[in-house]
């Protein structure tokens, strides 16, 4: 399991530039959907062999200057609660501002690793100017230039040194599938879990993960056995405003990374909102199985919107990854909850299926022959062989003479064919073209 590192600070100090620098090498790999600029506030980074998740709080602050202060204070409080380490970014050009002092005041009370990064230090003159940041009372600082990356190495060395050791996941013989229930506040996650577990709890164990982690409940009913990772009940801080988008995403990161299938609950009366999308793309980016449950369907005026229209609307938002099960449920009346479980189990099975190389070639090569990649600059791409890679999530590689000429539309065509023939509903898949 990864540590979570939050980047905090007031607007325009260069948090996002620094964040992009941290995740850039990985981002090219992690984000295989071209042109998806969604949710650039979360990514994975690795330094000295240690992998961690990074959250840039900057992208979540919206509003005018007078709203900013309250928002930033809330985000810093949340980051203090949820992250394993915090990087506080300040700007050498502007020096210490009252808002920096506010943030520092919050951070001084914290026992977690806090790293102070003085940004925009790109010459010796500014190195001298940085000395004033000792006045924030956070001890040593690191001078960096987010734009050209100077100084980030020392900062990252100190960061990975300071990160707490995460417990290694114990490899079990037949590990139970892990399903996590995620969604924005008040979507009905708790009611869903309570309805599933019921009063006659079939709970074998309540294992708390890491200290303030989602709780794992072993679930064994109706012929299903799995671990339920509940994000609903993670300590809710009264002072964190419920509607804060950042809050839902931050809460979900750990649970999603730690699960096989994400059950995303959305509130039918509110529709599929930006926050739901953020959580969806978080699961997609982590290559998890996904099931969407539209909860409180019993409260929606049916004459205004049928399930078909509602579903079509959601799928439009999910483009290009639309092969996802969407179920209409009610946690209150327990409507279709068993179906929801069955679907999650199916998605789990889809995600771990393996296709033999001979069978895969037999199926895919004739399709490719009938519809080869379009020629580019008079060059014809020939694909002679394909296989599924031995990875935990479905990845396929096609060997071609000119892989660089295979463009995204053709990759999508191959993915659609694959999905039509094999059942990968609810599962993100990766397709690569390589030199043979």
Provide the annotated binding site: 9-16, 56-60, 119-122, 183-190, 230-234, 295-298
CB 92 within 8 A of CB 126: yes
Please tell me the distance from the alpha carbon of residue 345 to that of residue 368, in angstroms, as a whole number: 32
Residue 350's nearest CA partner among 409, 283, 398, 418 is 418
What is the 3 state secondary structure string of 293-347? EEECHHHCCCCCCCHHHHHHHHHHHHCCCCCCCEEECECCCCECHHHHHHHHHHH
Residue 348's nearest CA partner among 246, 227, 235 is 227
Q: How far is CA 210 from CA 2, 168, 214, 375, 390, in A?
A: 11, 10, 8, 53, 29
Provide the token pair at 140. 């040593």
Task: Give the other-Cβ count within 10 Å of 375's Cβ.
Answer: 11
Residue 243's nearest CA partner among 65, 63, 100 is 63
Please tell me the distance from the alpha carbon of residue 399 to that of residue 59, in angstroms, as a whole number: 39
* Residue in the block written with tokens 């230039």: 145
Torsion of the alpha carbons at 312, 313, 318 and 323, rounded to the nearest 10: -10
Q: Are strands 141-143 and 3-8 parallel, antiparallel or unpaired?
A: unpaired
Q: Are strands 50-56 and 114-119 parallel, antiparallel or unpaired?
A: unpaired
Please tell me the distance from the alpha carbon of residue 397 to that of residue 165, in angstroms, as a whole number: 35
Torsion of the alpha carbons at 61, 65, 67 and 69, rounded to the nearest 10: 80
Torsion sign over Cα 160, 165, 166, 167:
positive
Please tell me the distance from the alpha carbon of residue 282 to that of residue 430, in angstroms, as a whole number: 16
Known binding residues for GTP are 9-16, 56-60, 119-122, 183-190, 230-234, 295-298
What is the 3 state secondary structure string of 178-222? EEEEECCCCCCHHHHHHHHHCCCCCCCCEEECCCCCCEEEEEEEC
Q: At what angle do helices 408-421 and 357-370 cross, to 10 degrees?
A: 130
């Amino acid at each position: 399991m990864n540590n979570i590192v939050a980047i905090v600070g007031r607007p325009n100090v260069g948090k996002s530039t620094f964040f992009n620098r941290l995740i850039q090498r990985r981002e090219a790999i992690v984000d295989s959907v071209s042109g998806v600029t969604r949710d650039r506030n979360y990514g994975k980074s690795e330094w000295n062999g240690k992998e961690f998740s990074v959250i840039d709080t900057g992208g979540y602050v919206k509003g005018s200057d007078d709203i900013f202060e309250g928002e930033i204070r809330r985000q810093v409080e949340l980051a203090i609660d949820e992250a394993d380490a915090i990087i506080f970014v300040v700007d050498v050009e502007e020096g210490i501002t009252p808002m920096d002092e506010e943030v520092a005041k919050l951070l001084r009370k914290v026992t977690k690793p806090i790293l102070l990064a003085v940004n925009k230090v790109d010459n010796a003159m500014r190195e001298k100017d940085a000395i004033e940041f000792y006045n924030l009372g956070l001890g040593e600082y690191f001078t960096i230039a987010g734009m050209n990356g100077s100084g980030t190495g020392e900062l990252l060395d100190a960061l990975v040194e300071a990160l707490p050791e995460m417990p290694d996941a114990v490899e079990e013989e037949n590990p139970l599938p892990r399903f996590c229930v995620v969604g924005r506040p008040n979507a009905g996650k708790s009611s869903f879990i309570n309805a599933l577990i019921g009063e006659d709890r079939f709970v074998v164990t309540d294992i708390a993960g890491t200290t303030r982690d989602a709780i794992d409940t072993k679930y064994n009913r109706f012929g299903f056995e799995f671990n339920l990772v509940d994000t609903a009940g993670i300590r809710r801080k009264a002072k964190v405003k419920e509607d804060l988008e950042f809050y839902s995403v931050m809460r979900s990161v750990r649970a999603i990374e730690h699960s096989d299938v994400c059950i995303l609950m959305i509130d039918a009366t509110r529709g599929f909102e930006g926050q739901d999308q953020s959580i969806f793309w978080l699961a997609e980016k982590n290559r998890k199985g996904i099931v969407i449950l539209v909860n409180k369907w019993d409260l929606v005026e049916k004459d205004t919107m049928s399930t078909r229209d509602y579903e079509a609307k959601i799928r439009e938002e999910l483009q290009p990854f639309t092969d996802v099960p969407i179920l209409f449920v009610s946690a209150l009346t327990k409507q279709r909850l068993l179906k929801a479980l069955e679907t999650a189990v199916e998605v789990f099975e889809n995600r771990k299926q393996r296709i033999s190389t001979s069978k895969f070639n037999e199926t895919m090569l004739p399709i490719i022959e009938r519809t080869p990649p379009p020629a580019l600059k008079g060059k014809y791409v020939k694909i002679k062989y394909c296989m599924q890679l031995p990875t935990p999530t479905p990845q396929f590689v096609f060997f071609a003479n000119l892989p660089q000429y295979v463009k995204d539309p053709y990759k999508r065509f191959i993915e659609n064919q694959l999905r039509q023939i094999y059942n990968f509903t609810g599962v993100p898949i990766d397709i690569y073209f390589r030199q043979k």
